[in-house]
Amino acid sequence: MDEKARDFLNTIIEIANRLPASELHSVSESIESLRTYSAPNESCSLPATVSHPANRDRTREMLQQWRKDFSDLSSQAVAWALRTAGEASAISPLSQRIQVVWSGPVSKGCTLRRTEQVLLDLIRNASKSLLIVSFVVYKIPTIAEALRSAVERGVEITLVLESPEESEGKMDIQIIKGIGKSLIEQSHVYTWPLEKRLKTEDGQHGSLHVKCAVADEQFAFISSANLTEYALNLNMELGVLLEDSTVSRTIRGIFTSLIDDGILRKATA
């Protein structure tokens, strides 16, 4: 395999690792529907099916690489190469156990999965329960829509969130705008009351600074990223995704105990 072919294959693997399963399926279907890459109007519209700007740009680069260097490859061959790379990533024992998750600038050839991709996959694949903990929630329409869909299919949603109004048991207006009042009403939402927080001698209190998600007590995502537009799309953020029932149940158990002990309080919109 020459250098150009290896580079093109690595690009396909990178995109398969980056995109959520639903977006990878959509891109593969769109590519396969093209008879050849010689239809520029159709092909240029393909990246629009990808939500994250960086992933959209990388997908566009892959399509340009296809046209420039591998125009003899059929659209079906490229589509199946993407699907195969995606399936290989999903069934890899190592990738199932632990994955490094990244948001921010990426170098060419980087195959790390992105924060928004991982969080969306967790939400969309949850079948029973979902715990999400975040310090800040702001402008997350894609995540909010995935959470609403999870509620509709019967997933029990528990949200533990920081709020400037936690002492009154009310949700901050930005949280309501970020998630939506109806989703808050259909979920179990908790905050950390001021009177339950540790304080310094001069009265400064601690903050709920955890960022994590647990799905079905099987998958645990621990990240530096808040639930914000900047954290998911612009900031440098780093985390790990674990497929480990012991770790997942331990994290879930921490917050269940805090709720049972009254340290976390049920909030209302």
- For residue 17, how far is the Cα from the chain centroid? 13
**Domains: count for the chain:** 2
Q: With respect to residue 217, please indicate whether it lies within any of the assigned structural domains.
A: yes
Same domain, residue pair 164 and 74: no
Q: Indicate whether 183 and 75 sit together in one domain.
A: no
8 occurs within a structural domain: yes
8 Å CB contact between 237 and 231:
yes
Would you state the structure tokens that stand for residue 208, as one six-digit string? 């709920």
Mark whether 186 and 236 lie in a shared domain: yes
Q: What is the DSSP letter of 167?
A: G
Distances from the Cα of 176 to the Cα of 183, 184, 226, angstroms: 9, 8, 15
pLDDT digits over 32-79, tens only? 887 655 444 444 567 677 877 778 888 888 888 898 888 888 888 999
Q: Which of 79-88, 93-102, 195-204, 240-249 is predicted with the least confidence, judged by mean pLDDT?
A: 93-102
pTM of this structure: 0.65
Q: How many CA atoms lie within 13 A of 225 on its CB side?
A: 30
**Structural contact between residues 18 and 117, judged by C-beta atoms closer than 8 angstroms:** yes
Give the rounded percent of residues in the chain with a pLDDT score beyond 90. 31
- Mark whether 123 and 239 lie in a shared domain: yes
Domain region containing 173: 113-266
Regarding whether 79 and 10 lie in a shared domain, the answer is yes
165 and 257 inside one domain? yes
Tell me: do 80 and 118 sit in the same domain: no
Same domain, 69 and 14: yes
